[in-house]
Amino acid sequence: MRHIWLSKKDFTSYNQEGYIKAADLSEILELSRPSITRILNSLECRGYIVRNIDKKDRRSININLTETGIEALEKANRKILQIADRLVAELGEADTDKLIELIKRLTEIYKRILEEHGSSNDE
């Protein structure tokens, strides 16, 4: 949902019409199109998104967040920030900085492992 929301912002590489294409989501999230379709079906059933056929290219599906989807995303963002604030408060700034550095290192190692073993989009 965050990528759909970001499609409305000027600082993204997505088009500026406030939606994102399902195919673009598949590429950005590195998930197969059937996986994206299952996720979108679930979001649509919950009333978080709407899908519309692109008037310029009838093979493409445009995804928009609904008001309910925006509210759910804002609620999730608030919860994430509360957790992050609590972690920083309990760890302290020095340990938080160490944690961030370790997460960066783990991410780099994980990427190297994936490159060495070749990854599929659904792993």
Using one digit for the tens of pLDDT, what is the confidence trace for 81-109? 999 999 999 999 999 999 999 999 999 99
Q: Are 30 and 114 in contact (CB under 8 A)?
A: no
* pLDDT (0 to 100) of residue 29: 86
Structure confidence by residue, pLDDT tens digits, 30-48? 889 999 999 999 999 999 9
Alpha-carbon 50 to chain mean position: 17
Distance CA 88, CA 82 (A): 10
pTM: predicted TM-score of the whole model, two decimal places? 0.66
- 50, β-bridge pairs: 64
DSSP secondary structure string for all residues of 89-100: HHH-HHHHHHHH
**Residue from 25, 52, 53 nearest 37 by CA:** 25
- Residue 120: pLDDT above 70? no
Q: What is the 8-class DSSP label of residue 119? A: -
Q: Domain ranges for the chain, please list them.
A: 2-66
Percent of the chain with pLDDT over 90: 52
Buried b (16+ CB within 10 A) or exposed e, 48-59: bbeeeeeeeeee
What percent of the chain is modeled with pLDDT above 70? 82
CB-CB contact of 20 with 4 (8 Å): yes
CATH number of the 2-66 domain: 1.10.10.10
